[in-house]
Amino acid sequence: MTELARRFGLPPEFVKFLMVGAMAFVVNQLALYLLYDAPLFGFLPGKDARIDFWFAVHPDARLLIASSVSVEVAILFKFLWSERWIFRHRRPEGAPWARMMHFNMSAAASAVLAVSVTNVLTPVFGITPYVTTGVGVLCGFMLNWVWSARLVWPDRPTAASTD
């Protein structure tokens, strides 16, 4: 890991972040499949069931629910791996549940972006949600990295390092 990071001139945490992000993308896709295409959840609305909001109509309620839940599952997956592996050496302030809430809120923009991209590109252009979800995830990636590395798990200097 460290050698790979050094070879590309990247911080090791960034390489780990990329790896966890790739795994979270797989988790997201699996959850999307299970909720949208797999016949496991009969209580969800059928495909192409319209849902009316006070300001708009969404043509596929099942897609909206499935993409929203799958993004949240991926966010929780990323938090656990970030807490236990990527940023474990940092000494963040506050309780783990508070960091999880902060991470979840900071990832909200990325999640909204991913869900929005999926729910615009799929119905409007007929692109499969598995591709549009990937586009949304890529759009929010760098924003997510900055929030995670700078806000949720900031690298606080220790007393010994402040000369």
How many CB atoms sit inside 10 A of residue 111's CB? 20
Read off the pLDDT band of 160 (50, 70, 90). Answer: low
* Residue % of the chain over a pLDDT of 90: 19
Instruction: Provide long-range contacts, Cβ within 8 A and 24+ apart, for 8-17.
Output: 13/86, 13/87, 13/149, 14/145, 14/149, 16/85, 16/86, 17/82, 17/86, 17/145, 17/148, 17/149
Q: Report domain extents, the chain.
A: 2-155
- Output the pLDDT for position 1: 65
> Is the confidence at residue 163, as pLDDT, over 60?
no
* Residue % of the chain over a pLDDT of 70: 94
Question: pLDDT tens digit string along 81-107?
Answer: 999 999 888 877 778 888 888 888 877
Instruction: Give the pLDDT mean for 61-75.
Output: 89
